[in-house]
Amino acid sequence: MVSGTGIRPFARLLDKSQASVWAISPGGKLIYLSSGCSQWLGFDSSLLLDRRSVAGAPISNEKLDLIAAALAAPAALLRRGTASLRITPPALEHQRPEAREVRFIKVGRQDTALVLAIAGDFDDRLPEPELKDAIAIRQQLDSWRRSHAATAINITAGTSKQAVRLRRRMHVAASTRTDVGLFGPPGSGGESILMRIHELSAPGENLIHVDGPLMDSDLLDATLMPARHQLAENRDARVTALVRSLDEMPFEAQQRLAGLLETFTGRLRLLATCGAQLMELNAPVDDGISENLSFTDEQTCGLCSQLIDVISSLTMVNPPLAQRVEDIPLIATALLDARHAAGEGPAERINRSALDALVIYPWPHNNEELEDAIRHSIRNATGSVIACEHLPLAIRSYQPGSILKRAKHPKLSLDDALQRYELRMIQETLESADGNRAEAARRLGISRARLIRRLDDHSSGTRSPKESG
Amino acid sequence: MNWSLVDPGVIRPWLICETGSRWLSAVRRFGPDMLPADLIPKVESATRDEILSGLSLSEPSIVLWEVGRDSLAAVCDSLAQSTAINPRGLQIVACHHLTDRERWCLTPFPLAAMVNHPEDLPRLTPMIHLHFARWTQFID
């Protein structure tokens, strides 16, 4: 037992606190056990004094020796200086003591090191909620990568309905060499999806990029000249044209392109992004997106009918990022992973407040804007975590605007609102004037007759706000 | 915003009891899209007492309670009281930091949903549409 004048008050305090504390001498023997240990173990813990308590050391079959050994510090303690262990000591008689978290601390150096152990309820080994979230996102991301190893690109990450549909269509498009029309708003990364589809469905095949809005029929001819020569010279040759913003391409150029596709049917393939409006030519009939569209109207969708026929082989919809809110944490983490792996910065995860800011932001420029935001953040972050202050100003300072400005409300007419406001003012003034109409009219600066007429109007012809509610 | 200018018939109060403004921002962002097109959410932050005193039987409202470990008992009490006051109100609980065992404490109360993060809110859109459709049916 430890002796000395200074330690006694300390030992008394420990006994009084009911805490289970014990000490192991440099020789590996129990030299102190607080009274709390007796309560925990269910017998007088002084019986354990001077018994060996060393992990892995040979011990007899005597129960007290077994219990003393169970209280030993893990072997790693000598190296690390601290250790954590959950201990359930064996029972001396009938009832086994409850399991307790124990923290061990090595005091002193090498051969003279004393070990202090404290049992209690500690939650320092539980991961922080913040870390648990990060782990959950990481697990989701890993699972997605495993499941979609071939076609995985960051834009398609997520668990939303839209993400699942996009991945399924992408899988179909990648497994066959066919014409594809990808509808999505600007900045939604349609080109990278089509590039991946091309790599998977026709590896090694020549790919020609065509910028739709810049084309007229002559320029299109010039752009596709090498492809035409290749297709004309070699009957086995195959070429893919990746057209950006096909719906913005002039109609003459569209018709020229349709003519070339007709001439080289099956050998010249069209992969096109279209962004004017979201549409899915081969969507289910009850799909909300396709209900509103009429593909017979060329002017509406900006595509000539021949090209509509071509891309109807397979159309895909890449919805705006704002419609895939639940995917944003996953996509952002995937983008961060890619940049971290490329050595752009030390940040490995995004904290919850930054993720909240990303989720709430409306992303008018879609995935491109998110990519820019992550690039900006990883360069700004100095540690392993991206916090709110590392995000671009536009995102971290965004506050959702007035609800009335954003929503469409047919009932919100100016006349109705003015009428309600007028009635409310009259009623409040009447109340403050104790129902005296003449006084109320004077206070409002109108004649008594006008005030009565207004009240009559509201009570007879016009519905009051309460009635309309 | 001067709400007196808006037809009260289209206003749906959406009260939020939380520390901070995380859920207030989230509901302001997603709330309008979660309600039927002809309804306007009147999103307000309120204390527990303000919510309980402001609830009335006739009002089709949504209440979002943020629950932490420290406030679990208090929120359980509030849920019981608000259910008694307005059984047709829609109650959502934001319980990010709760363990499974603590979540079980909330199950006896008529909660419409439990959400963890703001991105979970848009998933509740069909349920909220249905809630208001049923409520309209009730008042008809």
Domain of A45: which CATH number?
3.30.450.20
Q: What is the pLDDT of residue B104?
A: 87
Q: What is the pLDDT of residues A356-370, one digit of tens each?
A: 999 999 999 999 999
Task: Report the SS3 class of residue A386.
Answer: strand
**Judging by DSSP bridges, how do beta strands B62-66 and B90-94 pair with one another?**
parallel
Shortest CA distance to A70 belongs to which of A39, A37, A94, A44? A37
Q: Which residues of A touch B120 (CB under 8 A)?
A: 326
Q: What is the pLDDT of residues A90-136, one digit of tens each?
A: 888 878 888 888 999 999 887 788 999 999 877 776 667 778 888 88
Residue A294 lies in a domain: yes
CA distance A311 to A308: 5
Chain A CA closest to residue B10: A469
pLDDT band at A279 (very low <50, low <70, confident <90, very high): low
Domains and CATH numbers, chain B: 8-139 (3.40.50.2300)
How far off is chain B from A395, nearest CA to CA, in Å?
Answer: 13
Of residues A469 and B80, which shows the higher confidence score?
A: B80
Domain of A441: which CATH number?
1.10.10
Domain of A220: which CATH number?
3.40.50.300
Contact of A182 with A194, CB cutoff 8 Å = yes
Same domain flag for A112 and A42: yes
Residue A127 lies in a domain: no
Q: Do A326 and B9 touch (CB under 8 A)?
A: no
Q: What is the pLDDT of residues A234-273, one digit of tens each?
A: 888 999 999 999 988 998 999 999 999 999 988 999 999 9
**pLDDT of A427 above 80:** yes
Average pLDDT over residues A2-31: 82
Residue A421 lies in a domain: yes
Same domain flag for A115 and A64: yes
Q: What is the pLDDT of residue A132?
A: 81
Same domain flag for A386 and A427: no
Q: What is the pLDDT of residue A293?
A: 47
Q: Do A412 and B10 touch (CB under 8 A)?
A: yes
Residue A195 lies in a domain: yes
Same domain flag for A81 and A165: no
Same domain flag for A181 and A297: yes
Same domain flag for A201 and A305: yes
Residue A452 lies in a domain: yes
Same domain flag for A114 and A29: yes
Q: Do A329 and B119 touch (CB under 8 A)?
A: yes
Strand partners, B17: B65
3-class SS letters over A396-425: HCCCCCCHHHHCCCCCCCHHHHHHHHHHHH
Residue A383 lies in a domain: yes
Same domain flag for A116 and A22: yes
Give this prediction's pTM.
0.69
Chain B CA closest to residue A463: B7
Q: What is the pLDDT of residue A412?
A: 58
How far off is chain B from A260, nearest CA to CA, in Å?
Answer: 44
Same domain flag for A438 and A461: yes
Chain A CA closest to residue B35: A407
**Judging by DSSP bridges, how do beta strands A20-24 and A30-33 pair with one another?**
antiparallel
Q: Which residues of A touch B25 (CB under 8 A)?
A: 356, 360, 399-400
Q: Which residues of A touch B4 (CB under 8 A)?
A: 420-421, 424
Choosing among A404, A425, A466, which should be mutated to test the B contact, i.e. which has the most B CBs within 10 A? A404
Which among B1, B5, B96 has CB closest to A420? Answer: B5
Same domain flag for A367 and A297: no
Q: Which residues of A touch B40 (CB under 8 A)?
A: 403-404, 407, 409, 412
Domain that holds residue A239: 161-321
Instruction: Give percent of chain A above pLDDT 70.
Output: 87
Dihedral sign for Cα atoms in the order A428, A433, A436, A437: negative
DSSP string, B78-93: HHHHHHHH-TTSEEEE
Which among A133, A328, A469 has CB closest to B8? Answer: A469
Q: What is the pLDDT of residue A303?
A: 83
B93: left (phi over 0), alpha (psi -120 to 50) or beta: beta
Domain of A361: which CATH number?
1.10.8.60
**pLDDT of A458 above 70:** yes
Q: What is the pLDDT of residue A282?
A: 54
Q: What is the pLDDT of residue A466?
A: 40
Residue A126 lies in a domain: no
CB half-sphere exposure, A196, CA atoms < 13 A = 19
Cα angle A380-A382-A385, degrees, rounded to a multiple of 5: 95
Choosing among B19, B25, B29, which should be mutated to test the A contact, i.e. which has the most A CBs within 10 A? B29
CA distance A120 to A118: 7
CA distance A189 to A191: 6
Q: Do B117 and A352 touch (CB under 8 A)?
A: yes
Same domain flag for A193 and A308: yes
φ, ψ of residue A93 in degrees (nearest 5): -120, -90
Contact of A170 with A190, CB cutoff 8 Å = no
Chain A CA closest to residue B20: A353
Strand partners, B28: none
- Tell me chain A's radius of gyration from C-alpha atoms: 37
Average pLDDT over residues A430-449: 88
Residue A125 lies in a domain: no
Total number of domains in chain A = 4
Average pLDDT over residues A146-166: 84
**pLDDT of A160 above 60:** yes
Instruction: Round the average pLDDT of chain A to a whole number and report it.
Output: 84
Q: What is the pLDDT of residues B65-110, one digit of tens each?
A: 999 888 889 999 998 888 888 877 889 999 887 888 888 888 888 8
Chain B CA closest to residue A359: B119
Q: What is the pLDDT of residue A153?
A: 83
pLDDT band at B135 (very low <50, low <70, confident <90, very high): low
Same domain flag for A84 and A196: no
**pLDDT of A188 above 50:** yes
Tokens of A119: 């049992």
Q: What is the pLDDT of residues B24-66, one digit of tens each?
A: 999 999 988 888 888 888 888 989 888 888 776 567 788 999 9
Instruction: Give percent of chain A above pLDDT 90.
Output: 31
- Kindly give, in sequence order, each residue whose CB lies less than 8 Å from that of residue A315, ignoring residues fewer than 6 positions away: A180, A181, A182, A183, A279, A280, A281, A282, A283
